[in-house]
Structure 1
Amino acid sequence: MAKLSLCGGRAAVTAGSRLLASGLGAVAGGERYTNNFFLYDCSSAEKKLPDHKDEDGLAMAVGSDTILAHAFSSSGSFFALTDDNKRLILFRTVPSWQCLSVRSVARRCTALVITTAEDRIFVADKSGDVYSFSVTDPQGEARLELGHLSMLLHLAVSPDDQYIITADRDEKVRVSLLAAPHNIVSFCLGHTEFVSQLLVLPWAPDLLVSSSGDQTIKLWEYVTGREVQSCDLSTSHRQDGDEDKQRFAVSRIAASCSGSHIAVLFDCVPTVHVFQFDAASRQLLPGQEISLEHGVWDVAFDASSGLWILQEDKDEVVLIYRLADGKWQRSLNEESMERLSNHLRDNWTLMEGCSDTESPFRNLYKASYDNMAHYLQKKEERILEQKQKKRKGAQQETTQQTKVLHPVTPSS
């Protein structure tokens, strides 16, 4: 699955083992970012990392260098990614892109985030642990910060770097102190399936949005763990002609820098749902649904709150929608969009193999098991078996009585 990130005047797309980055020519922080094209392939990264072995001491299978997670720092000055060969790769993006370090992580990672102060990277892995790595010391070793009993799927850091928020497969959202992650501040409990995404709202930093395989997104006052709102998304996610609700999860939640909008993308569904946050009621109001002809890989907002869509179409791989007259309308012929689209078309092989018709969350749902139906089935089988035994016993008894009343005499 290809992923898109925007920060200031920079764009980064990851697909397979490769990272493609480009300046968008936009003004950000008083500096104009030019083309500044950068291409990096994880298969060419340093290989002198410790050998990973399983519990029996045998060498584990080598990964395919596929990028699993990535993130910009808040200013866009740093970018970090992890791949399935258990490497954390850190880049500096100013004045130009440069690889600073390649470090080993304990296990394959699911998500990462860089603190607002841009001094540490927090990495979550499949075993439920979170490790931190220094940004200022690119060669620094990992430090274990906290752990869950189940797989971690996402994490976030509050804008003031006071809290770290983690989400796991077992429906929990946990809020801990960033300075002392063993100190749990609260739990946000209410989802009934795995939690797939977390996002602290930039224009309401005391509120958190979470999404889950239970077909809802929830709004929380995360410091106290109080649920503010729950939005049921199931009615907007049905296949044509299919009346049954299908299981799905949100693969991406993106927030605009201004304008109080969030974009929600379902996995394997070519529709982007836009919600608007109402400050007076502190509620998310359902807005426009943007339906597309091709599959959507990812969405992101730029610095001017334009909605960028990365889709599975070589001719129009990047689309931009902007809010005009209360509606999200497609914007055409923007220089920054054309620049990134041309880079992606020129390197289209990096996008090949990213189209996956199956949901990446399909193995995370709880296995449904009807205990009562199983019990009743076993009970009927036992009753039938007992009847058969009784019938067979009665037949044997009748045969014995017949032999006693009518003994067979040997012929002379």
Structure 2
Amino acid sequence: MASSAGLALCGRALVVRGGSRLLATTTASSDDDGSLFTYDCSTAEKKSQENKGEDGQPVEKGSDTILASTFSKSGSYFALTDDSKRLILFRTKPWQCLSVRTVVRRCTALTFTASEEKVLVADKSGDVYSFSVLEPNECGKLELGHLSMLLDVAVSPDDRYVLTADRDEKIRVSWALAPHHIESFCLGHTEFVSRIFLVPDHPELLLSSSGRFAASRITYWSRDSCVALLCDCVPVVYIFQLEAPRRQLVYKQQLSFQHRVWDIAFEESQGLWVLQDCREAPLVLCRPVDGQWQPVPEDATVKKVCTQLRGHWAMLEGSAGVDEGFSGLYKATFDNMTSYLKKKEERLQQQLRKKRHKSPPPGPNGQTKKVKAGEASWSGSS
């Protein structure tokens, strides 16, 4: 799956990625452009082992497009994986690239452990590798594997469990200290599981998505127990209220946009940020007003960040046509019965033609010809 533009928030730190580049800034209105940090994966540090993966095989050169990225829990670290099979780790205070490591296969999702000691990356072959944060140049370690492509990975707040979601409808809960030991499976979906999300305020609750319009992002606002859902290739953000005692999501409203929505993320102090395919207004900030979420007009912080993004629009404009979303992961349906009946009818017609071909032609007055050894005679009514 190709990747479109993405958005990540942690505290006041905001990261926008597109293509092979990322832009990191702050949502604090008092800061100026001096706080801007940019990075381009196409110019990432080249290492002697870069041409070999951890299995010793040559690494295929990719497009350097960023496939997945995330902050650590405290926001002190940021990590990304790209199409060239690299894991790049950053320190954020201040921003600095700590390491560039190779991965065995292209990754689909990644997350930090709650302790921020490791980064877990899930790949297309169904494996999860862990990489040390404290030793940023150490090679990765294989932790667990599925038989199908992994689409998301998460860790419980106490670092006790690793949760993985695959394209074969399964969510697997494994012990973090012994990943070969499976605690349980969640088997309620009938299509690939696109996203899984552990609710920070209620770690016993897991949100997951699949279905006709698979979610590309699930984000949570603890101030009002609010869940925002962005579905694949749909310019609509769905807002839900989480009622934890009843363990239910209650639909509240939907926010429709004129442009394609790439990503969404909550900022606890301000509201919901929306990244969209619009150069004039690439970021929209939404807040609840009288119980209804709506865009905030003429906000100084939004203006500042949008100005920064317009100055680096080239990294985003190429994202409009590269994202394939989840369309290639849906089950294919086959009408086997129609094909079977058609072939059966063809066989019957063929058998009938053969039978007619073998029957002797009728003689005079409708007589049929009887053949005996050395002679021929006609029988029938005269």
TM-score above 0.5: yes
Structure 1, unpaired ranges of 5+: 216-247, 407-412
**Deviation of 1:258 (Å):** 2.1
**Deviation of 1:371 (Å):** 2.8
2:115 matches 1:150: no
2:328 matches 1:363: yes
Structure 2 equivalent of residue 36 of structure 1? 35
Cα distance between partner residues in 2 of 1:264 and 1:250: 7
Question: Are the counterparts in 2 of residues 79 and 93 from structure 1 also a CA contact under 8 Å?
Answer: yes
**After superposition, where does 1:19-34 map in structure 2 within 5 Å?**
19-25=22-28
Give, as a single letter, the amino acid of the residue that structure 2 aligns with 1:77: S
Q: Percent identity, aligned pairs only?
A: 52
Q: 2:300 aligns with which of 335, 344, 347?
A: 335
Cα distance between partner residues in 2 of 1:305 and 1:136: 32
Question: Are the counterparts in 2 of residues 171 and 195 from structure 1 also a CA contact under 8 Å?
Answer: yes
Give, as a single letter, the amino acid of the residue that structure 2 aligns with 1:343: Q
**After superposition, where does 1:192-271 map in structure 2 within 5 Å?**
192-212=190-210, 214-215=211-212, 248-271=213-236
Question: Are the counterparts in 2 of residues 8 and 26 from structure 1 also a CA contact under 8 Å?
Answer: no
Higher relative contact order (CA 8 A, sep 6+): 2
Question: Are the counterparts in 1 of residues 29 and 304 from structure 2 also a CA contact under 8 Å?
Answer: no
Structure 2 equivalent of residue 3 of structure 1? 6
Q: 1:12 aligns with which of 10, 15, 18?
A: 15
Q: 1:316 aligns with which of 274, 281, 284?
A: 281
Cα distance between partner residues in 2 of 1:358 and 1:25: 31
Q: Mean alpha-carbon deviation: is it higher for 4-13 or for 361-370? A: 361-370
Question: Are the counterparts in 1 of residues 286 and 294 from structure 2 also a CA contact under 8 Å?
Answer: yes
Structure 2, unpaired ranges of 5+: 378-382
**Deviation of 1:256 (Å):** 1.1
Question: Are the counterparts in 2 of residues 257 and 301 from structure 1 also a CA contact under 8 Å?
Answer: no
Count of aligned residue pairs for this structure pair: 367
Structure 1 equivalent of residue 68 of structure 2? 69
Structure 1 equivalent of residue 338 of structure 2? 373
Cα distance between partner residues in 2 of 1:155 and 1:125: 10
**Deviation of 1:281 (Å):** 1.7
Cα distance between partner residues in 1 of 2:34 and 2:244: 38
Cα distance between partner residues in 2 of 1:99 and 1:50: 16
Give, as a single letter, the amino acid of the residue that structure 2 aligns with 1:25: A
2:77 matches 1:112: no
SS in 1 for 2:319: coil
Q: 1:299 aligns with which of 246, 264, 269?
A: 264
Q: 2:309 aligns with which of 322, 327, 344?
A: 344
Give, as a single letter, the amino acid of the residue that structure 2 aligns with 1:324: V
1:137-192 CA-to-partner distances (Å, cap 9, x unmatched) read: 11111000000010000011111211110000100000111122111111011101
1:195-238 CA-to-partner distances (Å, cap 9, x unmatched) read: 000100112111000001x23xxxxxxxxxxxxxxxxxxxxxxx
Structure 2 equivalent of residue 161 of structure 1? 159
Q: Mean alpha-carbon deviation: is it higher for 314-323 or for 384-393? A: 384-393
**Deviation of 1:359 (Å):** 4.1
**Deviation of 1:60 (Å):** 5.9
Cα distance between partner residues in 2 of 1:306 and 1:334: 12
**Deviation of 1:396 (Å):** 6.8
Judging changes above 3 Å, is the alpha-carbon distance between structure 1 residues 43 and 389 closer, same or farther for their aligned structure 2 residues?
A: same
Question: Are the counterparts in 1 of residues 59 and 85 from structure 2 also a CA contact under 8 Å?
Answer: no
Cα distance between partner residues in 1 of 2:362 and 2:137: 86
Cα distance between partner residues in 2 of 1:374 and 1:193: 25
Question: Are the counterparts in 2 of residues 23 and 34 from structure 1 also a CA contact under 8 Å?
Answer: no
Cα RMSD of the aligned pairs, angstroms, is 2.6
Question: Are the counterparts in 2 of residues 24 and 35 from structure 1 also a CA contact under 8 Å?
Answer: no
SS in 1 for 2:359: helix
**Deviation of 1:50 (Å):** 3.6
**Deviation of 1:62 (Å):** 1.6
Question: Are the counterparts in 1 of residues 29 and 300 from structure 2 also a CA contact under 8 Å?
Answer: no
- Larger C-alpha radius of gyration, 1 or 2? 2
SS in 2 for 1:171: coil
**Deviation of 1:356 (Å):** 3.1
What is the TM-score of this pair, normalised by structure 2? 0.90
**Deviation of 1:292 (Å):** 0.7
Question: Are the counterparts in 2 of residues 24 and 33 from structure 1 also a CA contact under 8 Å?
Answer: no
**Deviation of 1:335 (Å):** 2.6
Give, as a single letter, the amino acid of the residue that structure 1 aligns with 2:282: V
